[in-house]
């Protein structure tokens, strides 16, 4: 029966390629993906899925559901479809969205016989203000048993780790004055920001290797002869776990407070984007997916890369068993977040990755829906990690 998935994807592959290419040609930034969402949900609707748009308070988010009359697990395929400014789909989200939609559709054709439920979740703005964060907090995953997403890469890699991340903003308010005639009357907010950077640079020597801190001065004054009364710095802080990151943030915030004391400015600390938790790969689920991908794709699947960036799928992995593997675009050394990466998604190799990826996701869902031993093993690993 599992072999039928190949027949099903042959029926829709041209449409999947067309949608992915259309997303490439018409990229939309996070939380503005109205046309992209419409194309993906229209295809799901045409194949019998029930659609809810605007979930979790995000207008371009959606939940598409296909349920069998037979009871069984609920498998979720997560779709991303936001682009990057300047480079379009330089992270391949046009492929991610269509792969998950394709996987949901072809697996739904077998559902009346095998039982269970399929959900395709549209998760906007992964690059900036990831919708998976409020979805995780608002209980969207409470009735989901397993969540999967597949990301394009230069080559195929197993699901691994990602770093927890916070987006911290430090706003210093001082007092303006003539910088030459009466500087003693002013309080230089920009000096606070400079001391903040100096303090963080000194802190780096005493941080573990997995911690990353990088930032910019987003506002630092308007004219050189006016003491700046407002200065703003924005940082990303990252660490291997949420617990470790919280400890780092405490040190960074104390440095920020000290910088304010040094100059007399007042400080306001806030988050300018949502926080991402570290990714916890469910290794049992990852092994099932890897086996399916190796059976479908002729290219090797490499071990997971060391954690470097941050993804909102991390938040999902803390509430439900999850994986975030990579499927290769058959171009070793291809760098994400570039125009070259985006261009590769609409090549023959990009189209083949889309089909192989959708098949691998659907095949993994099939295994979980039809093999209770495998499904329970996934759940048990998750419970052990969470200490339940």
Find the CATH number of the domain harbouring 223: 3.30.70.360
Mean pLDDT of 90-104: 98
Q: Domain end: 271, 302, 324, which one? A: 271
**What distance in Å separates the CA atoms of residue 20 and residue 79, rounded to the nearest whole number?**
12
Q: Does the pLDDT of residue 388 top 80, yes or no?
A: no
Q: Would you place residue 386 in the very low, low, confident or very high pLDDT band (cuts 50, 70, 90)? A: confident
* pLDDT score of 1: 86
Structure tokens at 267: 């400080």
Q: Domain end: 271, 286, 307, which one? A: 271
Residue owning tokens 């049992």: 284
Sort strands 146-148 and 74-79 into parallel, antiparallel or unpaired. parallel
Phi, psi at 35, each rounded to 5°: -70, -40
pLDDT digits over 128-184, tens only?
A: 899 999 999 999 999 999 999 999 999 999 999 999 999 999 999 999 999 999 999
**What distance in Å separates the CA atoms of residue 60 and residue 116, rounded to the nearest whole number?**
26
Q: Does the pLDDT of residue 97 top 80, yes or no?
A: yes
Based on the fold, state whether residues 307 and 285 are members of the same structural domain. Answer: yes
Based on the fold, state whether residues 376 and 288 are members of the same structural domain. Answer: yes
| Strand ranges for the chain from DSSP E | 50-53, 62-67, 74-79, 117-122, 146-148, 151-153, 156-157, 164-173, 212-219, 230-239, 266-271, 301-302, 322-323, 326-328
Based on the fold, state whether residues 311 and 256 are members of the same structural domain. Answer: no
**What distance in Å separates the CA atoms of residue 57 and residue 77, rounded to the nearest whole number?**
20
pLDDT digits over 248-263, tens only?
A: 999 999 999 999 999 9
Q: Range of 185's domain?
A: 164-271
Based on the fold, state whether residues 331 and 238 are members of the same structural domain. Answer: no
Based on the fold, state whether residues 205 and 312 are members of the same structural domain. Answer: no
* Average pLDDT over all residues of the chain: 97
In this structure, are residues 212 and 271 in contact, taking their beta carbons and an 8 Å threshold? no
CATH of residue 28: 3.40.630.10
Based on the fold, state whether residues 142 and 34 are members of the same structural domain. Answer: yes
Mean pLDDT of 331-343: 96
- Convert 251-308 into a string of H (helix), E (strand) and C (coil): HHHHHHHHHHHHHCCEEEEEECCCCECCECCCHHHHHHHHHHHHHHCCCCEECCCCCC
Share of the chain above pLDDT 70, in %: 100
Q: Which sign, positive or negative, has the C-alpha torsion 39, 98, 381, 366? A: positive
Based on the fold, state whether residues 36 and 141 are members of the same structural domain. Answer: yes
Mean pLDDT of 353-373: 98
Phi, psi at 212, each rounded to 5°: -130, 135
What domain count does the chain have?
2
Based on the fold, state whether residues 250 and 190 are members of the same structural domain. Answer: yes
**What distance in Å separates the CA atoms of residue 311 and residue 238, rounded to the nearest whole number?**
11
Strand order in 50-53's β-sheet? 50-53, 62-67, 117-122, 74-79, 146-148, 322-323
Q: Does the pLDDT of residue 228 top 80, yes or no?
A: yes
**What distance in Å separates the CA atoms of residue 233 and residue 218, rounded to the nearest whole number?**
6
* pLDDT score of 61: 98
Sequence-distant (6+) residues with CB within 8 A of 347 are 329
**What distance in Å separates the CA atoms of residue 50 and residue 65, rounded to the nearest whole number?**
5
Based on the fold, state whether residues 130 and 69 are members of the same structural domain. Answer: yes
Based on the fold, state whether residues 29 and 134 are members of the same structural domain. Answer: yes
Based on the fold, state whether residues 32 and 107 are members of the same structural domain. Answer: yes
Q: Domain end: 222, 252, 271, which one? A: 271
Based on the fold, state whether residues 18 and 133 are members of the same structural domain. Answer: yes
């Amino acid at each position: 029966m599992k072999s039928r998935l190949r027949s099903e994807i042959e029926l829709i592959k041209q449409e999947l390629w067309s949608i992915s290419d259309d997303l490439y040609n018409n990229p939309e930034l996070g939380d503005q993906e109205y046309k992209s969402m419409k194309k993906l949900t229209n295809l799901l609707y045409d194949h019998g899925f029930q659609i809810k748009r605007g979930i979790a308070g995000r207008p371009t988010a959606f939940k598409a559901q296909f349920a069998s009359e037979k009871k069984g697990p609920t498998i979720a395929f997560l779709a991303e479809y936001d682009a990057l400014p300047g480079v379009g789909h330089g992270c391949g989200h046009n492929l991610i969205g269509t792969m998950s939609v394709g996987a949901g559709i072809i697996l739904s054709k077998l559902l009346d016989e095998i039982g269970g439920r399929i959900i395709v979740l549209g998760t906007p703005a992964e690059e900036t203000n990831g919708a998976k964060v409020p979805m995780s907090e608002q209980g969207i995953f409470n009735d989901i048993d397993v969540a999967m997403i597949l990301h394009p890469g230069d080559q195929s890699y197993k699901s691994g780790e990602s770093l927890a991340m916070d987006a911290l903003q430090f706003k210093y308010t001082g007092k303006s004055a003539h910088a030459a005639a009466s500087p003693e009357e002013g309080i230089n907010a920009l000096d606070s920001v400079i001391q903040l950077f100096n303090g963080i640079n000194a802190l780096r020597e005493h941080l573990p290797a997995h911690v990353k801190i990088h930032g910019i001065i987003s506002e630092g004054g308007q004219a050189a002869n006016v003491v700046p009364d407002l200065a703003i710095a924005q940082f990303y802080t990252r660490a291997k776990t949420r617990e470790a990151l919280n400890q780092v943030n405490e040190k960074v915030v104390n440095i920020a407070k000290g910088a304010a004391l040094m100059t007399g400015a007042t400080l306001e600390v806030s988050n300018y984007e949502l926080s991402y938790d570290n990714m916890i790969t469910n290794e049992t689920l990852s092994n099932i997916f890897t086996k399916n991908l190796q059976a479908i794709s002729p290219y090797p699947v490499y071990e997971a890369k060391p954690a470097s960036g941050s993804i909102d799928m991390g938040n999902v992995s803390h509430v439900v068993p999850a994986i975030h593997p990579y499927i290769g675009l058959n171009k070793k050394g291809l760098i994400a977040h570039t125009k070259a990466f985006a261009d590769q998604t609409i090549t023959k190799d990009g189209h083949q990755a889309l089909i192989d990826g959708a098949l691998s996701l659907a095949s993994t869902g099939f295994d979980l829906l039809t093999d209770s031993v495998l499904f329970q093993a996934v759940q048990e690993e998750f419970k052990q990690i969470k200490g339940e």
